[in-house]
């Protein structure tokens, strides 16, 4: 018999949520085969069996929080092991407690006269829905309340105003007959929310704006895209130009490539650029390592690789750790202008936006329609002054409006 435990994941990760079981009790499992998917603050991780055998018990349900070192399942090396039914999970194991003498009688159990017994999953669901467990009638003849009992009770009763007020004061104004949908936040979304609020509380964040005439970059891409693809088997996009321009600007304004630790400023002499990627589970920021040492094709290939891994939920913790500066592109969703939020502990983030034709004054007498993009730099004013922030953004603008400079300065 072997125990499947939650392994050490990373220094900053001590717990996770069982996102889904990939196997059920009774299944035969080979050594190294995944049995569950664990959702952590940053990535989803597959938990592997270290032994071959029959999966005999699941000790946690989907949605339960587990800590590093917890035993989550049991694998028996003997194929003829007495395998319980698939629905036997931790909520049943934990509730196998000695019953009161009256509980063994055939008469219906009167729970008010004895200690109320409910599984952890049932208690959790009852808290979320604001249900009084003493009012739930269990199916179990021994009086144990399980998750499906709470679900059945919730379907039979509509939430009253007092219940809504008790559980969710912020939405007490919703009328019971009005249609609403309540969705539990995923662990990753909770972490994103927490970190964004922390950044706003802990950093003196300001944003400065500029606009870039994208004519030169677009002309260069148009002339070179076919040859570039044939030679490198990857498309020439805008992100490689912006990454190169950012690296060059960071070299000129190094405090934007730093972080604050206590009363010290740590200026980083390497350029690991985070590129924000939107997924179904929320925004993640995988990192392009040593972007200053990569050419355009290598950057495009790495961004494509990381974005694909992100959308397939295959990013590793290493892919997400240690960025020095971040680029985010709201333009792919049509955003014309926004103020990006810092990706702590970084002190700078560049926001790209939609390219839109706008009339631009060429000189005192001429106007032309040009493909223009607004760009935004959010920065931590604790160590970066407005002069440096504006200078950084102007440098990015100059390099992109004359992209041949990138060959010399990045």
Residue with tokens 């493909």: 371
Measure CA 167 to chain center.
26
Check if 148 is active-site.
Answer: no
Catalytic residue among 132, 226, 385, 402, which? 385
CB 149 within 8 A of CB 139: yes
Cis peptide before 159 (omega within 30 of 0): no
Catalytic residue among 132, 219, 381, 402: 381
Helices (H), 262-405: 296-311, 317-320, 386-401
Buried b (16+ CB within 10 A) or exposed e, 34-59: ebbbbbbbbbbbebebeeebbbbbbb
**What CA–CA distance (Å, rounded) separates 60 from 73?**
8
What are the DSSP calls for 196-214, one per residue?
HHHHHHHS-EEEEEEEEE-
H or E segment to which residue 167 belongs: helix 161-167
Give dist(CA 121, CA 123) in Å, integer. Answer: 5
Tell me the backbone φ, ψ of residue 176, rounded to 5 degrees.
-55, -35
Number of residues written out for the chain: 410
Catalytic (active site) residue 41? no
Residues labelled catalytic: 381, 385
């Amino acid at each position: 018999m072997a125990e499947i435990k939650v392994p050490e994941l990373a220094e900053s990760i001590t717990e996770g949520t069982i996102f889904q079981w990939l196997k059920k009790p009774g299944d035969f499992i080979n050594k190294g085969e995944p049995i569950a998917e664990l959702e952590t603050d940053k990535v989803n991780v597959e938990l592997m069996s270290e032994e071959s055998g029959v999966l005999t018990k699941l000790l946690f349900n989907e949605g339960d929080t587990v800590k590093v070192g917890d035993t989550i399942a049991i694998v028996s090396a003997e194929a003829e092991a007495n395998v319980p039914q698939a629905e036997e999970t931790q909520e049943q194991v934990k509730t196998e407690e000695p019953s009161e003498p009256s509980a063994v009688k055939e008469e219906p159990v009167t729970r008010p006269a004895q200690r109320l017994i409910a599984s952890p999953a049932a208690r959790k669901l009852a808290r979320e829905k604001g249900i009084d467990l003493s009012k739930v009638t269990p199916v179990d003849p021994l009086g144990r309340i399980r998750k499906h009992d709470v679900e059945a009770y919730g379907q039979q009763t509509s939430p009253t105003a007092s219940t809504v007020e008790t559980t969710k004061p912020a939405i007490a104004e919703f009328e019971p007959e009005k249609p609403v949908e309540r969705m539990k936040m995923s662990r990753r979304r909770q972490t994103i929310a927490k970190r964004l609020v922390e950044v706003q509380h802990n950093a003196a964040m300001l944003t400065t704006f500029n606009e870039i005439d994208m004519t030169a970059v677009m002309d260069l891409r148009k002339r070179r895209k076919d040859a570039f693809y044939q030679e490198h088997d990857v498309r020439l996009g805008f992100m490689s130009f912006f990454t190169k321009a950012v690296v060059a600007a960071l070299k000129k304004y190094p405090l934007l490539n730093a972080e604050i630790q206590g009363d010290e400023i740590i200026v980083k002499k390497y350029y690991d650029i985070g590129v924000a990627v939107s997924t179904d589970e929320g925004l993640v920021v995988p990192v392009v390592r040593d972007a200053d040492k990569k050419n355009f094709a290598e950057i495009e290939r790495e961004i494509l690789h990381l974005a694909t891994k992100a959308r397939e939920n295959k990013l590793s913790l290493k892919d997400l750790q240690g960025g020095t500066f971040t680029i985010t592109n709201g333009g792919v969703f049509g955003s014309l202008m926004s103020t990006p939020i810092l990706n702590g502990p970084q002190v700078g983030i560049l926001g790209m936006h939609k390219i839109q034709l706008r009339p631009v004054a060429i000189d005192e007498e001429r106007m032309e329609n040009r493909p223009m993009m607004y760009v935004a730099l959010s920065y931590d004013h604790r160590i970066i002054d407005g002069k440096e922030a504006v200078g950084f953004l102007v440098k990015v603008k100059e390099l992109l409006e004359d992209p041949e400079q990138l060959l010399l300065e990045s």
